[in-house]
Amino acid sequence: MNIYPAPRRRARGRALRHRTRPARERAQATLQKITSGEKAKEFEDMRGAFADPGIDAVSIATPNHWHALATIWACQAGKDVYSEKPACYNIYEGLRMVQVANETKRMVQIGSQHRSTPYKIRAIEAMQGGLIGKIYMAKGLCFKRRQSIGHKADSPVPPGVNWDLFLGPAPLRPFNELRFKYNWHWFWDTGNGDIGNQGVHEIGICRWGLGDPEWPKSAFRQRRQVCVRRRSGDAQHATRQLRLRRARRLCSRCAAS
C-alpha cells in the first residue's frame, strides 16, 4: 500500500506498507521531504493498517492478484479505498468488491483516471450527445513494444523481502527475480498480461464511449504472426471466436471474505 492521507477530515496520520525494506525506506524519505520531516507508521502486513483506527483510507498499489482481497478487507475494516488499475484479477472478484463496498457503505475508486479527467468527460458527453452520429463500435489501440524478459533460475529470497506476503493468495512458489517487481505482470499467478495492464485503459474508454453495455457473451480475436521457414517469411493468420462464461464458483481469493 502507498502513503495516503486521511480524507473527509483533517489528516490524522499516514501509514505505508511495502514488502521490501528498501521500498519502505524510499517511501519514508519521500514523505519526509514533502511533510517537513514527518514519518509514517510502517506495517509489513496490510491487515495491521486496516486494524489501525487512526487510518481512514488506504491506497492499494499491489500486484493485481491482491487488489480484490485487499479492497474487501479494507472495506470490512471501515476504510475507504483507492486502488490502482485493474480493479481486480477477474470479473467475479470485481463483482464481490462492488457487493462488499455497498454492504459496508465505503467509498471505492479504481485508478485508471480516465473518468475523472475533465476533458475526457466532455469528449464522451459530446460523442454520446450525437457529435459524430450514432456510436455503434469502439476500438482500443495501443502500440507498445515490449522486450522479452528472458529466463532466470529460481534463487534465494533477497534480504528484506517477505516473499510469502508478496504471493499472498497466489500459489506458493520459489523466489524468482522475474516474478518480482514489474515482471509479475506476465505470470498468471499474479498478473493478467498486458490485457490487464495496458488493455484495461483502452477497454475502459471503449466501454465508456458505448454507454457501459452489459457483459459480452462472446469475443472475437484475430492475430497475425510472422514465422520464418526456410529463409522465407510466412504470415500466419489465426481467427478464433470464444464463448464467455461468467464464473460461478467462489474464487479462492475471496472465499475467506
The CA–CA distances, whole Å, from 183 to 31, 71, 197 equal: 26, 23, 11
Q: Where in the chain is the domain with CATH 3.40.50.720?
A: 15-114
Pick the CATH number of 15-114 from 1.10.1370.30, 2.115.10.20, 3.40.50.720, 2.60.40.420: 3.40.50.720
> HSE-up of 100 (CA within 13 Å, CB side)?
24
Instruction: Give the pLDDT means over successive 10-residue stretches in the chain (257 positions).
Output: 42 50 71 74 88 92 94 97 92 94 96 90 95 92 87 93 93 95 94 90 93 82 51 43 46 46
Q: Which residues of 196-207 are buried (b: 16+ CB within 10 A; e: fewer)?
A: bbbebbbbbbee
**pLDDT score at 228:** 42
Rg (C-alpha) for the chain, rounded Å, is 21
| Chain CA centroid to CA 226, Å | 31
> Could you give the CA distance from residue 192 to residue 89 in angstroms, rounded to a whole number?
7
Q: How far apart are the first and last CA of the chain?
A: 19
